[in-house]
């Protein structure tokens, strides 16, 4: 199995490049499983594929939630910093 190396940029402000890449890959897997699911007519395999789709959808939602948390956290920090008057 070929592994793609993804390097963390360590400079995230209101998002995370690593989580965005994970989101892209998980969403791609959902589409892949949905595609093969539509072609499947074997009941036990179809049920298994449905479970995989649901697991991947949960992963996608979890990643989106974490990205949203990072965004809100960054905005809060920016708000606190901007509330200080540095012009003396």
**Is residue 66 in some structural domain?**
yes
CB burial string 29-55: b at 16+ within 10 A, e below: bbeebeeebeebeeeeeeeebeebbee
Q: Give the C-alpha separation, 36 to 34, whole Å.
A: 6
Can you give the pLDDT at residue 25? 96
pLDDT band at 2 (very low <50, low <70, confident <90, very high): low
pTM above 0.75, yes or no: no
Residue 60's CB: how many other CB atoms inside 10 A?
Answer: 18
**Is residue 4 in some structural domain?**
no
How many structural domains comprise the chain?
A: 1
**Is residue 2 in some structural domain?**
no
Predicted confidence (pLDDT) at residue 83 exceeds the cutoff of 90:
no
pLDDT of 19-64, one tens digit each?
A: 999 999 999 999 999 999 999 999 999 999 999 999 999 999 999 9
Predicted confidence (pLDDT) at residue 79 exceeds the cutoff of 70:
no
**Is residue 24 in some structural domain?**
yes
């Amino acid at each position: 199995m070929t592994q793609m190396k993804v390097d963390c940029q360590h400079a995230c402000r209101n998002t995370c490049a690593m989580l965005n890449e994970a989101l892209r890959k998980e969403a791609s897997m959902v589409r892949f499983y949905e595609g093969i699911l539509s072609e499947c007519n074997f009941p036990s395999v179809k049920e298994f594929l449905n479970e995989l789709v649901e697991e991947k959808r949960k992963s996608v939602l979890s990643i989106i939630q974490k990205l949203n948390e990072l965004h809100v956290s960054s905005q809060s920090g920016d708000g606190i910093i901007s509330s200080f008057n540095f012009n003396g």
